Structure 1
Amino acid sequence: MAIEIERKFLLASDGWRDAVHRSTRIAQGYLCTDPERTVRVRLKGDAGFLTIKGKNQGIARAEFEYPVPADDAAAMLALCPNVLDKTRHLVSVETMLWEIDEFHGDNAGLVVAEIELPSVDATFVRPDWLGAEVSADPRYFNSALSEKPYCRW
């Protein structure tokens, strides 16, 4: 079984911007936001993906992601009540890859950094642009942002 182990942080500064090596626009919607599981559809650039995630167990959860034709992903996004719009920026810090999501639309103003880890207790270098950790705050889950966007907090 595939396990995602992820920590999420707010940003303390824009110092990460000079280190971006790739950025991609993402449209992301949820076909299911049940607390026990989420089913997400995503258009990442020209590529489509369907992702099923299990219930969070701390910072870990089951994750299954499959490529789907972009036209199918677009059709599935049309079934989603709310679609997130964000730009994902990739930043490498030493041997780790940070994904920094800059949200648009109703979530504009929200920027979060995520890091996927090989184990729950893995250590990593904290860049100076990293702010408070929000891994355990459900308001920052993308599925929650699709239902209650940042502008309504």
Structure 2
Amino acid sequence: MDEDKDDFEFERRFFCQTQPEEVNSADMSTLIVQGYFVHEDNYALRIRLQAEGVNRTMNAHTDALDVLLKERDQYTAASMTAKGPVVGGTRYEAERALDPGIAAELVVRGSSLIVKNRYGIWLGEDWWNIDVFGGSNAPLVVAEVERSGPVTDLVIPAFCTTEITDDPRFSNDGLAQSPYSTWSDSFEQELASKGTRFLKGFGSNRSLD
């Protein structure tokens, strides 16, 4: 049986040392709370709830469960997604819609939670999602681009410090299991000693003027 080609995502992801000023020009933000029921070896089963146009303060004191409960009437969409490991900027991702009320009840009943604001903006040739994390993953900021095919010849904005496409520590399921705050110091030391990097296997990497 052939796998549905739509059940694959093509993306590149980047660590940002600070929240980009460009998010201030975003027309709308999306509040996302998601729970992971399986997250091992880069395999994951995720339930996500989204509230369009809702923005919550994201810092170390932001509690994902509290946000979930207080905003539960604002969620406009929910989904359940099965994910496989990232291979060359491609990841198996089968997503199916859920009723937001059912999704909230499932998440409340047991999962590892993540909370974040997502901002979407056009930069250069691509639509960029910029995720600002709260709770134990604050102050992490991740920028990503998704396409219907491999993300090649990408124009990379200056706010992208280093590429994390192939770094499982920064996958959302990885962050659910091992939050950024528990290893951010060692990562900053790693970044300082090894320097930034951008993957070379996706054509040319161009700078956004």
- TM-score, normalising length: structure 1: 0.91
Find out whether 1:9 has 2:14 as its counterpart. yes
Q: Write 1 or 2 for the structure with the bigger share of strand.
A: 1
| CA distances 1:47-77 after superposition (whole Å, capped 9, x unpaired) | 1111111222121011111110011110111
Distance in 2, matches of 1:36 and 1:89, equals: 25
Q: Which residue does 1:118 correspond to in 2? A: 148
Distance in 2, matches of 1:81 and 1:121, equals: 31
Secondary structure of 2:86 counterpart: coil
CA distance 1:65–1:16, change in 2 (3 Å)? same
Higher RCO (C-alpha under 8 Å, 6+ residues apart): 1
| Alignment match of 2:89 (pick from 59, 75, 78) | 59
Q: Which runs of 5+ in 1 are unaligned?
A: none
Distance in 1, matches of 2:159 and 2:85, equals: 30
Q: Structure 2 counterpart of 1:132, which letter?
A: T
Q: Which residue does 1:80 correspond to in 2? A: 110
Asked if the contact 1:16/1:129 (under 8 Å) is kept, the reply is no
Asked if the contact 1:31/1:79 (under 8 Å) is kept, the reply is no
CA distance 1:110–1:62, change in 2 (3 Å)? same
Q: Which residue does 2:24 correspond to in 1? A: 18
| CA distances 1:15-54 after superposition (whole Å, capped 9, x unpaired) | 3223322201110111111326311001111111111112
Distance in 1, matches of 2:179 and 2:151, equals: 31
Q: Which residue does 1:135 correspond to in 2? A: 165
| Aligned positions, number | 153
| Alignment match of 1:148 (pick from 178, 194, 198) | 178
Asked if the contact 2:9/2:93 (under 8 Å) is kept, the reply is yes
Give the fraction of aligned pairs with identical amino acids, expressed as a percent: 32
- TM-score, normalising length: structure 2: 0.68
Displacement of 1:128 in angstroms is: 2.2
CA distance 1:24–1:3, change in 2 (3 Å)? same
Displacement of 1:12 in angstroms is: 5.1
Distance in 2, matches of 1:42 and 1:18, equals: 24
Find out whether 1:30 has 2:36 as its counterpart. yes
Q: Structure 1 counterpart of 2:15, which letter?
A: L
Asked if the contact 2:120/2:127 (under 8 Å) is kept, the reply is yes
CA distance 1:71–1:121, change in 2 (3 Å)? closer
Root-mean-square deviation (CA, aligned residues, Å) is 1.7
Q: Structure 2 counterpart of 1:6, which letter?
A: E
Distance in 2, matches of 1:141 and 1:56, equals: 9
CA distance 1:121–1:27, change in 2 (3 Å)? closer
